[in-house]
Amino acid sequence: KQEVTQIPAALSVPEGENLVLNCSFTDSAIYNLQWFRQDPGKGLTSLLLIQSSQREQTSGRLNASLDKSSGRSTLYIAASQPGDSATYLCAVRNSGYALNFGKGTSLLVTP
Amino acid sequence: NAGVTQTPKFRILKIGQSMTLQCTQDMNHNYMYWYRQDPGMGLKLIYYSVGAGITDKGEVPNGYNVSRSTTEDFPLRLELAAPSQTSVYFCASSSWTGDNQPQHFGDGTRLSIL
């Protein structure tokens, strides 16, 4: 059974810092990995999807990397802003239909 | 483009009551999913559907039922509500299950059972 772990569980940084969120998974036979953003009381917004054949994806200030062999992904946020404050979820898809989610990293960016 | 729409947004039920959580998508996606999110936990798949008339169980299906009569709609039914079903329920959809297809989520239904 796929287990997805996100470290740290919570993170507080001052505005302008670059930061890295970590995601690890136990079964490397994945189809893809998705990073989501969840604001309090809201749904999930898809940020980036990395296919199993890819090493990274970029969108604006966000860069996600994937190392299947070591079972790791990182989400890099450049020049953080208070509006980036949210919970970030990592989800891995294996051969079935379900996404296997981590518990998330709660990010607070202070002005 | 509305995407995935869930209703209601909030609901309080008494133990033993029943209700249906509604989910509709306007992206013509074949695949639809129901997840639940408990506090401090990752989302878990309840049921999924690969097309109209076809549904299957996910990881935590007990206490729930689904139907898929149209491509757009995928309602989730709770027959006898129990306190353990207090959670946030998310509906999602995807166009197909290729490795480059993201799942798109609704805003969730927050359900409390007292």
Per-residue pLDDT of chain A in tens (111 residues, 90 and over written 9): 889 999 999 999 999 999 999 999 999 999 899 999 999 888 899 999 999 999 999 999 999 999 999 999 999 999 999 999 999 999 999 877 789 999 999 999 999
Size of interface A-B (CB pairs under 8 A): 61
The pLDDT score that the predictor gives to residue B12 is 96
For residue B111, the tally of other CB atoms under 10 A from its CB is: 20
Q: What is the mean pLDDT of residues B32-42?
A: 92
Question: Considering only CA atoms, which of A100, A102, A111 is closest in space to residue A38?
Answer: A102
Scanning the structure block, which residue is given the tokens 């810092």? A17
Please indicate whether, in this complex, the C-beta atoms of A98 and B59 are within 8 angstroms of each other: yes
Q: What is the pLDDT at residue A90? A: 97
Say what the alpha-carbon torsion angle A82, A87, A88, A89 is, to the nearest 10 degrees. Answer: -170
Provide, rounded to the nearest whole percent, the portion of chain B with pLDDT above 70: 96
User: What is the DSSP secondary structure assignment for residue B73, as one 8-state letter?
Assistant: B
Average pLDDT over every residue of B75-90: 95
Q: Do B99 and A4 touch (CB under 8 A)?
A: no
How far apart, in Å, are the Cα atoms of B9 and each of A9, A37, A43, A97, B94? 27, 19, 11, 25, 22
Cα–Cα distance, A17 to A8 (Å, whole number)? 16
- Residue B39 contacts A where some CB pair is shorter than 8 Å: no
Confidence at B101, pLDDT banded by 50, 70, 90:
confident
**B104 inside 8 A of chain A by CB:** yes
Check A102 against B31: CB less than 8 A apart.
no
The mean pLDDT value for B22-42 works out to 93
Q: Report the pLDDT value the prediction gives residue B99, as an integer from 0 to 100.
A: 65
Mean pLDDT of chain B: 93
Cβ separation A99–B45 shorter than 8 A: yes
